[in-house]
Homo-oligomer: A and B are copies of this chain.
Amino acid sequence: MVGVGVMGADHAARLAHRVAGAALVAVSDPDMGRAAAVASAFAGVRVVASPLALIADSGVDAVLLASPGSAHEEQVLACLSFGKPVLCEKPLTLSAASSLRLVAAERALGRRLVQVGFMRRFDPSYTRLQSSLSSIGRLLVLHNVHRNVSAPASFRSEMIVRDSLVHEVDVARWLFADEIASVSVLAGLSSRSAPSGVRDPLVAVFRMAGGGIVTTEVFINSQTGYEVRCEAVGERGSLFVDAPRPLPADFLSRFASAYDLEVQAWVSSCVEGRAAGPGVWDGYAATTASEAGVRSLQNGGEPVAVETPS
């Protein structure tokens, strides 16, 4: 494992205690004390000083990256160069160009090695909705709500797009089985609970290549609870993913099962030598949509086309 912040520490416990077929053998983190603390919490886990050394380590068969997005390109490329499967937390990288280099590198290798951490594709309520879509005819519109209690003061408006809204980007692509053609991100009244200068909530509108429309409210300082909802509107009815009540405190609690199933699917796919779940292309497509979203936000919400090469 590379990166043992909040998400990484949660994944470490998952790999060690709740997933079949894996053994957590080594962790790496720029904060060596944090790495040592996580390593000592489990039996037989080494601390490796450098992420690249960890990736190269012959005792490491596969790599889970929970490092910051800015570090992902170099680390994923290293995994690919060693032919090691990697589960990379979202976002894949912070720029479309960078993500595209990863797509090219994996393509050159000739086999899938990268899974991207869009865990909602494994959440039981989302998979239930997805597998029921045929019951409502063609999917026409998607409505999403994505609220957090509060965000750290360092969380800027652009990060709301790249780190929060990116989940709905992937959900939209997955449920429509289609690419996003354009993105608008509107900032209106901001809550006085948001840090100065942060536009929150945001309302995003995606237009899918095939015509579908997606609305999303992202509100990361909602003061209430972690509330993720989705309504899929088809020609003959609509389906819901509702938020559990009382609202969970955060995403780790709400999506605990999704993370378990995601990491288990990844470990099982490593053992069986095949790839599973959303891949590097999904990560790249999400990055292009996020980039369009950030540009739209900076330009007063006007629609920005998503440039995706085929």
Contacts and interface: CB of A to CB of B under 8 A. Distances in A.
A180 to B, nearest CB: 12
Contacts of A260: 18, 257, 260
B205 A223 contact: no
Contacts of A128: 244, 246, 248, 253
Given A128-B246, A141-B201, A235 B213 contact: no
A273 interface: no
Nearest to A244: B125
A268 B140 CA distance: 45
Report whether over half of chain A's contact residues are helix, strand or loop; otherwise say mixed. mixed
A38 to B, nearest CB: 16
Contacts of A137: 191-192
Given A17-B21, A215-B215, A242-B245, A186 B201 contact: no
B132 A192 contact: no
A97 B280 CA distance: 55
Contact of A186 (B132, B205, B224, B268): B205
A224 B201 contact: no
Contacts of A125: 244
Given A19-B20, A20-B17, A242-B245, A205 B207 contact: no
A30 interface: no
Interface of A: 15-22, 124-125, 128-129, 132, 135, 137-138, 140-141, 143, 145, 186, 188-193, 201, 203, 205, 207-208, 210-213, 215, 217, 219, 222-224, 233, 235-240, 242, 244-246, 248, 253, 256-257, 260-261, 264, 268
